[in-house]
């Protein structure tokens, strides 16, 4: 029995290593849920046949996961030397180039195989996936390396990680209307905000290794002014316009933004006297992140499940997918409440 223990224990370690290589924790509960939102939205406005719901959901989830895994993996491969200089300890630094390149090829082929299942009915989806992979590769790879080309770095990052996957989801529904472009522009702005936050957090390391990002050129103070004074207000404006359009189409949805405003108010009360509930330089407390990651997708999935039973397993899957994020948010809320009631001492909470 003792001889078998290392083998059994190797499986969790192996899965953990795979997760580390593709940086699973950095995208699965933050980027994929917004594509769930697009899927749920299209199911509300298009009402696809029941036999198409689960296959389309599988295509969205499978493509998003393989594509994002590829993008993060190839970014770490291209930045390997700089990360070593910056003192970042990553598993990829210990792997031979042949293994990394081979696994990248397999991951890329697996991701592109999914759109090809839709090529007969939705050929545009294949083209969009191809363009997305092009941007994912050359965002950080030479000779183009958009990452170090100023504004192009912001645009390509936002487009590759957010906007093109959105158009892919709309393409497999063959739905291109006003809401398509509202989603596209909103997700562009979300992507630009997130990459600016990422560059602000990485600013010290980027300056140390000589990576010339948009933020290293513009500077910390001016980047924060751009983020708070232009990008975020534009994002909120497009979000409001999109939700206005949705409520006109489906009046019963007016309760969802109202419910979120109540959640925001509760959040401010819980954090009062402890810290600010939202921050532009912290991944854990970015404004609207809880709305994008959890409230919006789960609310739409619940509405659909109440209308059509086929969506109950999808809602359950979504809850499980976001389980860790929901658990952390709930744990933080309970701790803050206990602090307010004087049951525990105040400590730093993220």
**Is residue 330 domain-resident?**
no
* pLDDT exceeds cutoff 90 at 121: no
pLDDT of residue 91: 81
Positive or negative: CA dihedral 109, 113, 116, 122: negative
Q: Please indicate, yes or no, if residue 310 is contained in any of the structural domains.
A: no
Confidence (pLDDT) at 347: 58
Tens digit of each residue's pLDDT (9 = 90 or more) over 272-316: 888 888 888 877 789 999 999 999 999 999 999 999 999 999 999
Give buried/exposed letters for 24-63 (b at 16+ CB in 10 A, else e). Answer: beebbbbbbbbbbbbbbbbbbeeeeeeeebeebbebbbeb
Residue pLDDT, tens place only, 139-196? 989 899 898 888 898 899 999 999 999 999 999 999 999 999 999 999 999 999 999 9
What is the CATH number for 205? Answer: 1.10.600
| Residue 289 maps to a domain | no
Asked, for residue 276, whether it belongs to a domain, the answer is no
Q: pLDDT tier at 6 (50, 70, 90 boundaries)?
A: very low
Q: Which tokens in the block code for residue 107?
A: 């991951």
Asked if pLDDT for residue 28 goes beyond 50, the answer is: yes
pLDDT of residue 79: 84
Is residue 185 assigned to a domain? yes
What integer best gives the mean pLDDT of the chain? 89
Can you tell me the mean pLDDT for 99-111?
94
Residue 4 pLDDT > 50, yes or no? no
pLDDT at 18: 87
What range does the domain containing 247 cover?
A: 2-267
Inter-residue contact 180 to 147 (CB < 8 Å): no
Q: For residues 53 and 310, is the Cβ–Cβ distance under 8 A?
A: yes
Give the pLDDT confidence of 57-84 residue by residue, as tens digits: 999 999 999 999 999 999 989 888 777 7
Residue 274 lies in a domain: no
Asked if the structure places residue 290 within a domain, the reply is: no
Most confident range, picked from 11-15, 274-278, 332-336, 343-347:
332-336
Closest CA to 329 of 295, 297, 281, 280: 295
Q: Which of 188, 144, 179 is nearest to 38 (CA)?
A: 179
Number of domains in the chain: 1
pLDDT one-digit tens code per residue, 29-55? 999 999 999 999 999 999 999 999 999
Give the residue from 125, 181, 179, 131 showing the smallest Cα distance to 156.
131
- Bond preceding residue 294 cis, omega within 30 of 0: no
Summarised one tens digit per residue, pLDDT across range 250-278 is: 898 899 999 999 999 999 999 988 888 88
Is the pLDDT at 1 greater than 70, yes or no?
Answer: no
35 inside domain: yes
């Amino acid at each position: 029995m003792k001889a078998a223990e290392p083998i059994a224990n190797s499986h969790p370690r192996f899965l953990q290593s795979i997760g580390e290589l593709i940086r699973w924790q950095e995208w699965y509960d933050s980027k994929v849920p917004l594509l769930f939102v697009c899927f749920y939205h299209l199911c509300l406005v298009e009402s696809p046949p029941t036999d198409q719901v689960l296959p389309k959901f599988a295509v969205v989830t499978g493509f998003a996961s393989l594509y994002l895994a590829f993008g993060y993996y190839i970014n770490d491969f291209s930045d390997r030397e700089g990360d070593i200089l910056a003192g970042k300890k990553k598993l990829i630094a210990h792997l031979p180039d042949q293994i990394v390149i081979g696994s990248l090829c397999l991951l890329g082929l697996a991701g592109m195989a999914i759109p090809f299942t839709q090529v007969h009915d939705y050929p545009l989806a294949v083209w969009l996936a191809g363009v997305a992979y092009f941007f994912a590769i050359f965002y950080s790879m030479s000779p183009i390396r958009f990452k170090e080309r100023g504004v192009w770095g912001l645009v390509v990052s936002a487009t590759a990680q957010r906007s093109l996957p959105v158009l892919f989801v709309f393409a497999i529904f063959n739905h291109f209307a006003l809401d398509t472009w509202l989603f596209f522009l909103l997700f562009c702005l979300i992507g630009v905000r997130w990459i600016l936050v990422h560059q602000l957090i990485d600013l010290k390391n980027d300056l140390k290794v000589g990576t010339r990002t948009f933020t290293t050129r513009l500077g910390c103070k001016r980047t924060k002014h751009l983020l708070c004074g232009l990008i975020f207000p534009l994002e909120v404006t497009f979000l409001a316009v999109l939700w206005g359009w949705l409520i006109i189409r489906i009046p019963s949805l007016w309760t969802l933004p109202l419910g979120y405003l109540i959640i925001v108010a509760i959040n401010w009360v819980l954090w009062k006297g402890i810290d600010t509930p939202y921050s532009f330089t912290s991944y854990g407390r970015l404004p609207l992140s809880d709305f994008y990651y959890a409230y919006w997708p789960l609310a739409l999935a619940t509405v659909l499940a109440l209308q059509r039973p086929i969506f109950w397993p999808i809602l359950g899957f979504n809850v499980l997918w976001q389980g860790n994020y929901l658990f952390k948010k709930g744990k933080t809320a309970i701790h803050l409440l206990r602090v307010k009631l004087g049951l525990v001492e105040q400590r730093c909470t993220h």
